[in-house]
Chain A
Amino acid sequence: MADVQQIINDVTKVYGKERKALMPILQAVVKIKNYLDDQDLISISKALDLSAAEVFGTASFYTFLDIVPRGKNVIRVCKTISCHMAGKDEIIHAIENTLNVKTGETSVDKKFTLLSTNCLGWCHKGPVMLINDKVFPELTAAKAIEILQNYQEEE
């Protein structure tokens, strides 16, 4: 796992030690480890000379900047209207059963976190989900399970 301090150094080299570097830093940390822990928030606040509360307040505003532990692969199933109409509930049930988790939870092996999220911008090809940054449109329950299996086997 990349050192958070290293990420901070790299990003501030590009953006300066200014507040506008905050989002890129938070995003870079989340990209590597899928969430920000207390210590990350503190390190970032020190680097940018912000209060830890402000960094927390900012991170907690953004759905993708998770501040609770997440699995290695974060699944976000779109729950907004078109995907709802196209059957997102089925997809979620299938994933919940496959991973033995409920929405919002992380699998015991810490490989997956299942979340539902607002519109992902694939309304013509719902249901859709993101796994980390990767998008999977036009899902069926079977397809979703197959995708998860591929991720399972990746290790």
Chain B
Amino acid sequence: MKFKTVSFSGWLVLILCSFVSLGWWLQITFFVSIKDNLPATTLTTTCMLVSLGIILIRKNGGVADKLSLFLSYTTIIVAIWILLEYKIQLPKIENIFTTSHDFKTELSQRPSPRTLITVIIAGLALLLTSYKKNKQYSYAHILCFIGISIPWAAIYGHLSFFSPFYTSMPSLGVGMSPITSICMIIIFIGIFNADPKIGLPGLLLGPTLGGKIMRIVLPAVLLLPLLFSWYIGYSFLHYDNVNTELRVILSLALLSLITSLLVIYTGYIITQKDEEKNQLVIALKESEERYKQVVNEISDYSIIRLDLAGKVDLWNKGATRITGYDANDILQKPFSLLYPKHYNGKPRELLKSALANGKVTDVGWRVRKDGSNYWVNTVISPLYDTEQAPIGFVEVTQDLTERKKTEEKLIASEKKFKNLLHSTPDAMVIVNQNGKITYCNHLASKMFGYTQEQFIGEPIEMLIPERYQKIHMQHLAEYLKHPKARMMDNNLTLLGITKEQKEFPVEVSLSPIYTEENEIQIAASIRDITERIKKENERQEYFKNMEISQKLGKMGYYEIDLDSENATLSDNYISLFGLNSNQSSIAGMSGHVYAEDYLAVNKKFHDSILHHQFFQADYRVNNAQSGEVQYVRNNCYFTYDKNRPLKAIGLKQDITEQKINEQRINKLNAELIKTNKELEAFSYSVSHDLRAPLRAITGFSNKLLKKQGHQLNTEGKRLLDIIVKNTVQMDRLIDDILAFSRISRENLSLSKVNLTQLFKMAYDTHKSLEPENRQIKFTLKPLPDDVVGDSVMLQQAITNLMSNAIKYSRPRQESLIEVGHTNVNNERTFYIKDNGVGFDMRHKNKLFGVFQRLHSEKDFEGTGVGLAICQLIIHKHRGEIWGESEPDKGAIFYFTIKTNLK
């Protein structure tokens, strides 16, 4: 705990008060009043002193606490109260401390008015020092001066036994006791010392010459009169005649003697100190001069001194060099002249800040005398006098314009560099020698998913899948040994890995960068080639498919640049036509065109170019390797720039096989035509040559019957009749066969066919051939009118079907024949239905066979060709025909027609 005069004085008061209390308790006069004939310190006074002592102890230099304030106010109020008791009848507070009711005793227990006034003054002074304000401290000190004079006089009185100095009522024993006086003096000294830096104590305790003198003179001036008054009071006590004036004169004479001695001593000391000071000042001036010279000679730095207002009062060569101002130009002018106009107020702020912080540094622009700017680094420090009071500033300025320019260039170039890196289409990462990332651009963080901060300082291996990290480190070390720019290598596909552990293919190019410290760093530019690889794969796939398609189609793709006449050929082209390189020319391509075809093809090619047409030609070429003749179909189109042909792009197809097939087909066709002709000739001769004998048989049978009939018996006639009948049947067969073969040879002549009419006609024709009494109910439902076919042929087919329907329903009482159309398997299907004898579905496969019959000639006449002809006709119409039946339950025939007009 630090020693403090304030609290020490408080404690001292408390100790003295406890002695007083002890004195009252044990009836020890010395403790209460020192001597019997002096007034005693009352208990009330003691209490007030104790409270003042406590306040002092609690003082800590700051604002007083609540208890201190309370004690201050209470003490003041109590003191005023008791003071008023002397004049007015009031309840007697001092009775709290005593039981005596005797007025005299009572009065002697009351603190004297001097004591009370002193206490009030002390209380007020303490209150004033309760707030940390210099002005109130001054008032407090004034109060202290006033207050301390009272106990001072009292002590003076005690010592010289001169009662008016300590009491106004000597007869009543009321007065300021010596102990109270001492306590009060201690208290006032304590209050003085509440803040030893302020006011009188500051002066007294400070290092100033005045303070020093006060420390020597004051105790003497204060204490010596006391000693003298005691001496005079004590030595002349026995002489009651010695009056007051003598005592005062004696005291004053002694005092004057001593004071003179003190003044002489003081004068001596002051002279001595002044001399010391003068010497010091001279030394200081010399040193300042030297310092000024040194400062002046410094030309690298501008060193100027400013007064407190910022006016220049010292100017060195450096300042002249840097600013262009001569000392004469600038001295006594504000240093803000050196600052650019727009720095408005900044010079003053700098000075303020220098004062507040002891030093200020600034970097910025300044203006030369000629108006040009320069870049400086300035340090401004305040200058203090010996009392630590600021008296000015020194400003040291370094011209950094050149350095600033270099720096700016550097910054600009760095900025440019960074911008460049940010604007590159690739991710950029810079790695130092230790493989740690020192820089990355936006794209890099986007590509790998790390923020830029997460990159910096991390090993580059974090961007590489774990399994490659080791080998990468080796690569890096290897690279650092022989650093050189390395471009993206298409063949070297590397893998990168993102923060999310997603791998992707990358392409990396490296280039070494040398830092200012000549340390090597590696700039890696990284490109995500996922898309490219995908596209490349797709492209390869596409080309592969193209080649496959070409192979499958026996085609070769080519592109001819019509300017340079250079041709690019697909792989399949060269393999198809026996070339040996993908590069050729028009000459190379046309060189193997078959000689006979060359002129025609060449003409057509050039005509196509000229007329902006597609070029298509079939011709022959000689295989460039084997020389074999190949048939090709060449298709191409041309691209133009306006009218200037640029390119021919086409496919050349090897159609040798087709050609051979075509030739084979042509040959077959020729053969077929020949066969057909033969067949025609055959049927011709059949119709002629086979019929003639038949007619002869019937004719001569008849002739025999007519001319020789009378010689034949019945049996002979019957046999002749059988011969004739069979001949007729034979004739019918021949007719049908001829019809069948004619139909199979004939081509369809298509037109809209009225089926309704055809059925009607067929019915009418066959009905008329039947006996008159035959009952037939013919129902013809509406039929569509948009059927297309060969009406002659369809007439034949329908006639045959109708003939069958009528023929096979002959056994019925009433034949029911119905014609209509329906939908079978989503196809429009016509039908003709009868209620005739029908057929067994087991034999349905024989229905449409030539000469195939399901009924005997005896029951139903016929050749077995009718339905075969029907089927032939319907098939020619791309339709189908089929029958459904059950024996004796009628039959139904369906057919479809699918021909249409194109």
**Pairing of A with B:** no
**B residues touching A (Cβ–Cβ < 8 Å)?**
none
**A residues touching B (Cβ–Cβ < 8 Å)?**
none
